[in-house]
Amino acid sequence: MSLKIYNTMSGKKERFEPLQPNSVTMYVCGPTVYNLAHIGNARPVVVFDTLYRLLQCHYDEVTYARNITDVDDKIIAAAREGSRSIESVTEEFTQKYREDMAQLNALPPTIEPHATHNIAPMIALTEKLLAKGHAYVSEGHVLFAVESMPDYGKLSGRSLDDMLAGARVEVADYKRHPGDFVLWKPAADEDPGWDSPWGRGRPGWHLECSAMIREHLGETIDIHGGGRDLIFPHHENEVAQSRCAHGGDYVRYWMHNAYLDIDGEKMSKSLGNFRTVRELLQSYRGEVLRFALLSAHYRSPLNFSAELLEQAEATLGSLYSTLRQVEDIPLDMEVQLAGEPFYEALNDDLNTPLAIAEIHALAKQLHKAPEDEKPALKGRILAAGNLLGILEQHPQDWLQGDLDSSDITAEEIEQAIADRQAAKAAKDYAKADEIRQDLLARGIVLEDSREGTKWKRA
């Protein structure tokens, strides 16, 4: 079954064919590590982690790179504000980023290149652009000359004049054209910097990804991903640097996820609706956040709200309850993905909402299926969950959850269930119902079945 993805460059859905027959290279823009990741930062992580899982079903070798920007004006400002070293800031927030993304069931990337470890390739790329007449030196800066590239703006689909009208561009006397962007800039004595042919300085933000992609993945890669906010100027400038320096396609397929709003409004600190992943993890499990992020198609805007999270929690609870009913049933065969509706959905431009709907359909079948059909249905649900990065916990662990903050222990719950069974045996149904209601008031739901009574958190 072929994979189709929407290519931002062409503006249409295309059949995916990697440059090498059984090997895929994918690069996704990672964090600038000066603060905690917010939930908007998590959307591309979850989206491209799902794509990474899907690609591994198709190809023997998938190399997934996600960079760490560890030199930037925001990092320098954060270090000054906290009277800390640059290294302590970047090390802290790199580690916290990894921890938070792992909580969302995101697999670690194959490669995690750091900007500060790749300065030499950035200098080499800058030198090549200068030699080819696509860059110039001015007042200690090296700038890319946008007018030197005839089709600059092709990725975002706008002319240079249109882009300048709608973008925040730095107006500086040292620029020949307002749209020219910095490849290398001088560094103050107290700021991080590296020796270069143009003096001590540091790279411009756009330069990093172009240089690291060539260094670690090659001249042309298969997939480059990120949020829509990166199309211009960041990815547009990547295209300019790489194509003008080396020729070729640079990237065969560009993929961009849409924006995320908080309660119908753009997330911003000024509005007070800024939500970090770490903050949300205090109230919701990481799988709930992941499920919520996958509930809309990646190219559609997503309104992130308490209602969405509660719905995600309830849906996962229902699916885990279904799996608990068959937890003792062994899986008797490997699932053949070809022809599976959930697999077809994901291969059609990563249609996660449809894939989730197909899991619901399988769960409904499982409830009604004869015993001999249940192993196959269980396997299909778990296979779909594995591709989406959900339903990978033991059902009992998920449903009973963490009782550390509860006023009742697992032992007390089991004793209450035993007391209820004894009351029912004595035909004291009022007492049995009282025990059920008392547990419910304390956040514990009982589920009766032929196999006995099980419990879960409400």
Burial environment of residue 443 by CB neighbours within 10 A (0 to 12, 13 to 18, 19 or more): middle
**The pair of three-digit structure tokens given for residue 211, joined into one six-digit string:** 């240089």
Which pLDDT does position 366 carry in this prediction? 96
Contact 242, 214 (CB under 8 A): yes
**Contacts (Cβ under 8 Å, ≥6 apart) of 121:** 211, 212, 214, 215
Query: In angstroms, rounded to a whole number, what is the distance separating the alpha carbons of residues 454 and 150?
Result: 68
Query: In angstroms, rounded to a whole number, what is the distance separating the alpha carbons of residues 453 and 417?
Result: 7
Pairing of strands 265-266, 135-138: unpaired
pLDDT at 100 over 60: yes
One-letter-per-residue 3-state SS of 27-57: EECCCECCCCCEHHHHHHHHHHHHHHHHHHH
Binding site per annotation, positions for ATP: 269
DSSP, collapsed to helix, strand or coil, labels residue 65 as strand
Q: What is the mean pLDDT of residues 14-42?
A: 97
Binding site per annotation, positions for Zn(2+): 29, 209, 234, 238
**Domain end (from 207, 230, 257):** 257
Which pLDDT does position 40 carry in this prediction? 94
| Total domains present in the chain | 3
pLDDT at 166 over 60: no
30 and 151 part of one domain: yes
337 and 363 part of one domain: yes
Instruction: With cut-offs at 50, 70 and 90, classify the pLDDT of residue 163.
Output: low
| CATH number for the domain harbouring residue 324 | 1.10.730.10
Query: In angstroms, rounded to a whole number, what is the distance separating the alpha carbons of residues 72 and 88?
Result: 14
Residue range 39-72, pLDDT digits in tens: 999 999 999 999 999 999 999 999 999 999 999 9
Which pLDDT does position 389 carry in this prediction? 98
Average pLDDT score over the chain: 93
Instruction: With cut-offs at 50, 70 and 90, classify the pLDDT of residue 446.
Output: confident
Query: In angstroms, rounded to a whole number, what is the distance separating the alpha carbons of residues 187 and 171?
Result: 19
268 and 244 part of one domain: no
Contact 387, 51 (CB under 8 A): no
Handedness of CA 215, 219, 221, 225 (dihedral sign): positive
Instruction: With cut-offs at 50, 70 and 90, classify the pLDDT of residue 162.
Output: confident
Q: Closest by alpha carbon to 221, among 80, 49, 29?
A: 29
24 and 116 part of one domain: yes
388 and 409 part of one domain: no
Instruction: With cut-offs at 50, 70 and 90, classify the pLDDT of residue 418.
Output: confident
Q: What is the mean pLDDT of residues 148-175?
A: 79
Instruction: Specify which residues 4 forms β-bridges with.
Output: 15, 348
Range of the domain at 378: 262-397
238 and 362 part of one domain: no
Which pLDDT does position 349 carry in this prediction? 98
**Domain end (from 397, 421, 449):** 397
Of all residues in the chain, the percent with pLDDT exceeding 70 is: 97
DSSP, collapsed to helix, strand or coil, labels residue 452 as strand
245 and 318 part of one domain: no
Which pLDDT does position 170 carry in this prediction? 60
Residue range 283-321, pLDDT digits in tens: 999 999 999 999 999 999 999 999 999 999 999 999 999
Which pLDDT does position 405 carry in this prediction? 54
pLDDT at 177 over 60: yes
The residue with greater pLDDT, 403 or 359, is 359
Instruction: Specify which residues 143 forms β-bridges with.
Output: 136, 182
Query: In angstroms, rounded to a whole number, what is the distance separating the alpha carbons of residues 100 and 214?
Result: 28
Residue range 178-203, pLDDT digits in tens: 889 999 999 999 999 999 999 999 99
Binding site per annotation, positions: 29, 209, 234, 238, 269
49 and 153 part of one domain: yes
Query: In angstroms, rounded to a whole number, what is the distance separating the alpha carbons of residues 368 and 359?
Result: 15
DSSP, collapsed to helix, strand or coil, labels residue 433 as helix
168 and 292 part of one domain: no
In 12-154, DSSP assigns E strands to: 12-15, 23-28, 61-66, 135-138, 141-144
Residue range 389-405, pLDDT digits in tens: 999 999 988 988 765 55
Which pLDDT does position 404 carry in this prediction? 55
389 and 415 part of one domain: no
Which pLDDT does position 403 carry in this prediction? 52
**Domain end (from 236, 257, 278):** 257
209 and 282 part of one domain: no
pLDDT at 119 over 80: yes
347 and 308 part of one domain: yes
| Helix, strand, coil in percent for the chain, rounding step 5 | 45, 20, 35
Residue 7 has phi, psi (to 5 degrees) of -95, 115
What's the whole-model pTM score? 0.90
Q: Which of 142-151, 189-198, 274-283, 425-434 has the lowest mean pLDDT?
A: 425-434
Residue 197 has phi, psi (to 5 degrees) of -60, -15
